[in-house]
Chains A and B, each alone.
Chain A
Amino acid sequence: MVGDPELALELRDVHAAYGSIEVLRGVDLAVPYGKVVALLGPNGAGKSTTLRVIAGQLAVSRGDVGVAGRRVNGASPDELARRGVCLVPEGKGIFPNLSVRENLWMATHVGGSLASIEAVAYERFPRLGERRRQLAGTLSGGEQQMLAMARALSTNPALVLLDELSMGLAPLVVEELYEIVANIAETGVSLLVVEQFARAVLGIADWVGIMIRGRIQEFASPSAVEADLSTAYLGE
C-alpha cells in the first residue's frame, strides 16, 4: 500500500493496459518532495504510459498510485491537475494556431488571472515575453517547449511530469531547458522527467530509474546508472 508522507509520488506494483495489451507490468517508483527523478528507457518501455497513469488519464488495472501520501487510483485528470499534478505531454501539447498569450490564457482554468500567469511565465522565460503576440506554431522548437513548461508552471504545480522534453530539439536547446528544470526543482517542485535519450537529464536528476518492458529494472543515482545505460538499452 502507498502512503509515505515523505513522498510526493509513489507507485507500487502498478499494472496498466491498453485493451488486452499490458504495458506496465508492476512498476515501483518514488519521487521525494523537491527532487528530480528521471525515468529512462528505450522506445515502447512504458515511460509515457507511466506518466498517463499518474496524471489519471489511464486507469490502473492493478497496484496503487500514491500522491502526497494518499492513494489516488481512479482520480480524474482534471481533479489531479487542479490540486497540483501537472503533465507536460510529449509533443508539447500547445495550441499552434493561438498566440503565446492565448496559450497562457488556457491556464486560467485553475483560478489565476491572465495577468498573474503572464507575469510568472515571462519572468521565468523572458523570450516568451518578447514573443507574446506571435503564433505558438511559428515559435522555434525550444520556445514551444518553453511555452508548454510556462503554461504548466503558471498553475503553481507541486508535481510536474515532463514527457520527452528533448524531443526534436538541438542539444544546446535541451541543455538550456534542463537548466530551467533544475531551477524549478530548487523552488521545491517535484519533477518526474521521462526521456528516451539519457545524457541530457543525468546532470540534473537526483535519482534515475531505467524502465524496460513495463518494469523499472534499476533505480539508483545518476552516476551509478550511467555506467549501465548501454547494457540496459542494448541488452548486452
Chain B
Amino acid sequence: MSETTDRAAQFKSEIAEMKLRTGRANIETLLQSLGAVLMVVGIVIALLAYRASLDVTATLGSNVDVLDSNSYTPLAIAGLAISVSGGFLFLRYSLAKFLRFWLLRQIYEQRVALDASRAEAGEPGPA
C-alpha cells in the first residue's frame, strides 16, 4: 500500500514539475493565418511602391531626378520578401495539418486491411 502511495506521490510531483507549452494548436492556426495575411500584405506593399514610383517625375525646375524612383525598389523588394515569407509560413502549417490527417487515415486504413486479412485467414475475432 505504501508503495502505491509513494508512486502516486511521485507521479503528482513529476506532473507538477512539468513545463507546459499550452495552446500549441492555437499557435499553429495563428501562424497559418499570419502567413496568409503576410502574403497579401507583401504584395500590397510591392504594388504601392510601384504606384508611388510612377509619381516621381522629373519636370523642368522641379529639381527631382528621375532616378529617385529607384528609392522605391528596396521597398518593393521588401514587400516581395514579406510575401514569400508569408507563403512559406502558410505552406508549412497547411502541409503539417494535411499530413497529420493523412497519417491518421493511413493508420486507419492499415487497421481495416489487417482486420480483413485476419478474417480471411480465419483467425478469431474479438468476442
Contacts and interface: CB of A to CB of B under 8 A. Distances in A.
Interface of A: 5, 8, 18-19, 33-34, 59, 61, 67-70, 72-76, 79-80, 83-84, 90-91, 141, 156, 158-159, 164, 166-171, 174, 187-189, 196-197
B23 interface: yes
Interface string B66-88: 00000000000000000000000
B98 to A, nearest CB: 10
Contacts of A18: 101, 104
A158 B114 CA distance: 31
A197 to B, nearest CB: 5
A170 B127 contact: yes
Contacts of A33: 4, 8
Given A34-B8, A168-B118, A188-B8, A70 B125 contact: no
B15 interface: yes
A159 B20 contact: no
B7 A158 contact: yes
Contacts of B118: 168
30 contacts: A19-B101, A34-B4, A61-B25, A68-B8, A68-B12, A68-B15, A69-B15, A69-B16, A70-B18, A72-B15, A73-B22, A74-B22, A74-B24, A76-B21, A76-B24, A79-B18, A80-B18, A83-B15, A83-B18, A84-B14, A90-B111, A141-B123, A158-B11, A168-B118, A168-B123, A168-B124, A168-B126, A170-B124, A171-B124, A174-B127
B115 A75 contact: no
A46 to B, nearest CB: 14
Nearest to A186: B4
B120 interface: no
Nearest to B7: A188
A6 B10 CA distance: 14
A83 B126 contact: no
Contacts of A76: 21, 24
Contacts of B24: 59, 74, 76
Contact of B126 (A68, A188, A196): A196
B3 interface: yes
A28 B20 CA distance: 22
Given A75-B22, A141-B123, 18 more contacts: A34-B4, A34-B8, A59-B24, A69-B16, A70-B18, A72-B20, A73-B22, A73-B23, A74-B22, A74-B24, A83-B11, A84-B10, A90-B111, A166-B127, A167-B126, A169-B124, A188-B5, A197-B127
B20 to A, nearest CB: 5
A90 B11 CA distance: 25
A91 B8 CA distance: 29
B23 A74 contact: yes
- Report the 5 A-B pairs with minimum CB-CB distance, sorted nearest first: A188-B4, A74-B22, A59-B25, A158-B11, A68-B15
Contact of B111 (A34, A67, A91, A169): A91
A18 B86 CA distance: 25
B114 to A, nearest CB: 7
Contacts of B101: 18-19
Contacts of B104: 18
A189 B8 CA distance: 8
Contacts of B5: 188
Nearest to A52: B104
Contacts of A196: 126
